[in-house]
Amino acid sequence: MSPTFSIIVPIFNVENYLEEAIDSLLGQTYDDFEIILVNDGSTDSSGNICKEYKENNENIILIEQNNKGLSEARNTGKKNASGKFIYYFDSDDVLDKNSLMDWYNIFKDSDVDIILFEGVPFGIENNSLKYKRSTTHYNKTLKSNDFLYDSKINQTYTPIACLFVVKNQIANINEFYPNIIHEDELYYAKLLLRKPLNVYVSPNAYFRRRLRPNSIMTKKKSDKNYYGYERALIEILLDDKILRNRKTVLLIINDLIRQMCKVAAQVDGKAISFKKRISLLRIFKLILKKKLVSKTCIFCLFPDFQRYR
């Protein structure tokens, strides 16, 4: 019989944090779940830690693969998941012990496709990172497009895979785009905009995100960040199902363009590289073709135009 939840855990070189992460899953007050550990070619003792946990816990599945990156590890886990609901969990983070029980009760009592919730960062003092949604959405069920639009307007947009749990058949619609940073930006948009879904927003901070030096979340921006945003933007612009939600998509596009230009300025300084200029021009042509041009788009892509306002 299929478990209620499948928790997918991509793993790469996290030997110092892995046991705490897995223990937080095994300590859940609701016990009908499977844990799918995907060891993505770790070169430290993470693989051995996984094997030990698998030997001692019948609800743990261990998959070993060559290093393919976070997206591919998540996709591998999803292909092997049999639970009714899917949760993507990072291997250095911590989950509150009542999470699965609360989620089960919400899914059982409501016509809900996705549950979104809060998170709390820890591990680095004086960090400014926040995972807060609009309080007006708390304990409500909303249509996914309306929720996403309001989140962008209220600047509470948090496209992070570890901050939602979703029905398996809906997760099947999407895969994480491989070999890019900011894969969650693209996945989140596709998940919530391709078809109308019922989204429940919980005020509870079930998830604790560990911030550590030189992780993807904290290290200095690079070209990888730029081209991750670029790929997410292009894939959104090429997806006609997403583009039907033009009002919401326009806000997402403007934000991604701002992020691209911000990273380009941080990496290249005032003299943005020729390669990135070509990239921005290609993006503008695609936006023009899709008839999604806005003032924000023009002023971000062509900042010199602001002199003549």
Select from 222, 236, 211 the least CA-distant residue to 276: 222
Q: For residues 6 and 165, what is the distance between their CA atoms, to the nearest angstrom?
A: 10
Are residues 258 and 139 part of one domain? no
Encode the chain (309 residues) as per-residue pLDDT tens digits.
899 999 999 999 999 999 999 999 999 999 999 999 999 999 999 999 999 999 999 999 999 999 999 999 999 999 999 999 999 999 999 999 999 999 999 999 999 999 999 999 887 654 555 666 667 889 999 999 999 999 999 888 889 999 999 999 999 888 999 999 999 999 999 999 999 999 999 999 999 999 876 555 555 788 999 999 999 999 999 999 999 999 999 999 999 998 998 898 888 887 788 898 889 889 999 999 999 988 777 877 776 544 434
Domain boundary among 210, 232, 265: 210
Select from 62, 72, 59 the least CA-distant residue to 18: 62
Query: Which domain range does residue 39 map to?
Result: 5-210
Are residues 227 and 174 part of one domain? no
> What is the 8-class DSSP label of residue 278?
H
Kindly report the CATH number assigned to the domain that includes residue 151.
3.90.550.10
Are residues 277 and 149 part of one domain? no
Take residue 25 and report the two structure tokens written for it: 């899953």
Are residues 147 and 246 part of one domain? no
Select from 209, 4, 3 the least CA-distant residue to 103: 4
Residue 216 lies in a domain: no
Dihedral pair phi/psi, residue 216, rounded to 5°: -55, -35
Are residues 156 and 65 part of one domain? yes
Domain boundary among 210, 232, 249: 210
Q: Which amino acid is at 71?
A: S
Number of Cβ atoms within 10 Å of the Cβ of 46? 22
Are residues 184 and 277 part of one domain? no
Residue 20 makes CB contacts below 8 A (sequence gap 6+) with 94
Are residues 233 and 204 part of one domain? no
Domain boundary among 210, 240, 268: 210
Take residue 131 and report the two structure tokens written for it: 């995972």
Residue 259 lies in a domain: yes
Residue 218 lies in a domain: no
Are residues 158 and 259 part of one domain? no
Counted domains in the chain: 2
